[in-house]
Copies of this chain bind each other. A is one copy, B any other.
Amino acid sequence: MKRKITLKQIARELEVSISTVSKALSGSKEISEDTTQKIQAFAKLYNYRPNNIALSLKNRKTKTIGILIPEIVHHFFSTVIFGIERVANKRGYNVIVGLSNESFTKEIINMEMLANGSIDGFILSISKETLLKQDYHHFHATINQGMPIVMFDRVVSEVDCDKVIVDDFNGAVKAVNMLINKGCENIALLTTMDYVSVGRLRTQGYLEALERNNIEPNSDLILKINDSLNSADHLEFLENEINKFFELNPNIDGVFAVNELYAITAMKVAKKIGLKIPEDIQVIGFTDGVLSKHATPTLTTVSQHGQRIGEQAANLLIDRLESEDVEPDSFIVNSNPKSDFIKLVIETEIIERESTK
C-alpha cells in the first residue's frame, strides 16, 4: 500500500536536492555521472513516474482532449470515439468523454466541468436540444477563453471553429442516383424533422438527385417522422407510420432512409406486407452500422466512415493545440481571423449489399 514515490522522497533518501533529482532523471549534463547513475537506479527501483497532475499544472496543458457527444450507445458515435482515441493515443493524448444525452443543460454542465483546466480542447457533436434552441453561447464562451473546439457531424455555421462533417448532401445524391439507375421510379424518402442539419442535407440531396434525373418530386413519397420520442415504444410507432405510408403509396419501388433504423424498419414492414426485397422494392439507408450488415437481406448503405471522422477531428485539434505553442512568437496577429478555420468534408461511400439489385 505504498504511495507513489515523488522527487522529494528520492531527494531526501539520497541526500541531494530535488532539483538534482529532476535534472538527473532528465539526463541533464549539469549533474555528474556518478550521482546521475545513482539517482536513476534508485528511481527505476522504486518505479518512479512523474505525477501528471503536477506536470499539467506546471505546463498549463493537460495532454487530454474532451469528447462531448449526445449519446454513446450508438454505433456511429462509438466509431468516432474509436477514431479519436486512436490518434489521440498515438500522439500522446488521453480522452475524457462526456455525454449530453441530447440535453442542452447537460451539454453546458459538462463543458463547464471540463473547461476548468481538465482538458486542452474539445471535440464535440451538438445535442438536438441545443440545435432546437439555437443557443450557442457556451461554445462561444469556451472558444473565447482560448480553448479550441472541433465539431463533427452535427455542426453549426454560427460557431467559428474547425469542423469535420460528412458529405450528407452528396451521399444522399449518390444513394438516390443509384436507386434510379437500378430502375426505381417511385422513390420514397424516410426522414426526420429537419432541425438537425444532417437530416436536412440528406433530404436536399434526395431532391437534388430527383431533379438531376428530371423526376418530379412527389410530396406524398416523403415521410417525416417525429423522432423526439426515443423510448421503447418508438419502434412500434415507427412501424405503424411506415406501414400506413406504404399502404397509402403502393407504387413505391425504392426507399431512401436517412438512418439505419428507418431503413431496417422499412424492410421489415415491406416483407410483412409481402414485398420482395430487392425485386419489388429496393432500400438504401444512411449510416453503416451493425444492423445493416446483419439484416436479412443485408442492407445497402451510405457509409459515413465514423472512424475516419474521429481521426481527422483529433488530428485537427491536436495540430491546433501544438501550433498554439508557437503562436505567441509569431508576428502575424490575427491574420485571417475567421477563414483560418478548417472544414473537412469526409466523402461517403456506398456499400452495396442485398437490398439493392
Indicate whether A117 sits within 8 Å of B291 (C-beta atoms), given known contacts A145-B3, A146-B3.
no
Complex interface residues of chain A between 38 and 56 (CB less than 8 A to chain B): 47, 49-54, 56
Q: Does A275 contact B (CB under 8 A)?
A: no
Contact assessment for B290 and A290 in the assembled complex, using a CB-CB cutoff below 8 Å: yes
Indicate whether A116 sits within 8 Å of B294 (C-beta atoms), given known contacts A78-B73, A144-B2.
no
Q: Does A11 contact B (CB under 8 A)?
A: no
Nearest-Cβ distance from residue A345 to partner chain B, whole angstroms: 23
Contacts of A291 in B (CB 8 A): 290-291, 294
Q: Does A94 contact B (CB under 8 A)?
A: yes
Nearest-Cβ distance from residue A297 to partner chain B, whole angstroms: 10
Contact assessment for B75 and A81 in the assembled complex, using a CB-CB cutoff below 8 Å: no
| Residue in B73, B78, B117 whose beta carbon sits within 8 Å of that of A51 in the complex | B117
Contacts of A153 in B (CB 8 A): none
Contacts of A114 in B (CB 8 A): 94
Contact assessment for A96 and B95 in the assembled complex, using a CB-CB cutoff below 8 Å: yes
In the complex, what residue of chain B is closest to A298 when comparing beta carbons?
B268
Contact assessment for A2 and B113 in the assembled complex, using a CB-CB cutoff below 8 Å: no
Indicate whether A82 sits within 8 Å of B72 (C-beta atoms), given known contacts A4-B145, A290-B291, A296-B268.
yes
A117→B110 CA distance, assembly (Å): 21
Contact assessment for B57 and A144 in the assembled complex, using a CB-CB cutoff below 8 Å: no
Contacts of A79 in B (CB 8 A): 73
Indicate whether A75 sits within 8 Å of B72 (C-beta atoms), given known contacts A82-B99, A96-B94.
no
Complex interface residues of chain A between 2 and 56 (CB less than 8 A to chain B): 2-4, 47, 49-54, 56
Interface size class for chain A? 35 or more
A48→B284 CA distance, assembly (Å): 51
A193→B2 CA distance, assembly (Å): 39
A95→B72 CA distance, assembly (Å): 13
Q: Mark A61-75, 1 if CB is under 8 A from B, else 0.
A: 010100000011111
Q: Does A224 contact B (CB under 8 A)?
A: no
**What are 30 of the A-B contact pairs (CB < 8 Å)?**
A1-B144, A2-B145, A3-B145, A4-B117, A4-B146, A47-B141, A50-B116, A52-B113, A52-B117, A53-B57, A53-B118, A54-B117, A64-B118, A73-B75, A74-B78, A78-B78, A81-B97, A85-B97, A85-B98, A89-B98, A89-B99, A94-B98, A94-B114, A94-B118, A96-B96, A96-B97, A264-B294, A268-B294, A291-B291, A295-B296
Q: Known pairs A94-B113, A296-B296. 8 more at Cβ < 8 A?
A: A49-B112, A53-B56, A64-B96, A72-B78, A72-B81, A95-B96, A235-B293, A295-B295
